[in-house]
Amino acid sequence: MLIIVLAGASIAVVNALYNSSWGTFTVGVTIPIAIFIGAYLKWFRPGKVEGASVIGVVLVILVVVVGQSFKSLLFYIFLIKNPFCFDSLVWFFSFCFACMAPSLFPGII
């Protein structure tokens, strides 16, 4: 069910971020940050939510600041001008999270 919801949401995200380099970079990088924070809480420092929160907030602020200069990077053309490529990345990260979710949240999922 989660994969179906994420697949439908990916189409809305692709349409909303079409021709938006800053938004594309910010959303595209926050997904791996979230996966990293989940792995950090699960395997590296279980139960240290404060540390994970600080790391997550700092990384997201850094991504938002750096995202403005994303337009000057070469692969911007491939991500922004080709929505299929960005949609594929969203599918890839959704699949990664769906595979990791049972081990990250064993009591919930």
pLDDT tens, position by position, 4-57? 777 777 778 777 777 677 777 787 788 888 888 888 888 888 888 899 999 999
Helices (H), ranges, 19-108: 21-39, 49-66, 76-80, 83-104
Distances (CA, A) of 71 to 11, 44, 60, 63: 22, 34, 18, 13
State the Cα torsion 34-53-66-82 to the nearest 10°.
20
Per residue in 17-31, pLDDT tens? 776 777 777 877 888
User: Against a cut of 0.85, is the pTM above it?
Assistant: no
Q: How many CB atoms lie within 10 A of CB 53?
A: 12
E strands of the chain, at which residues?
Answer: none
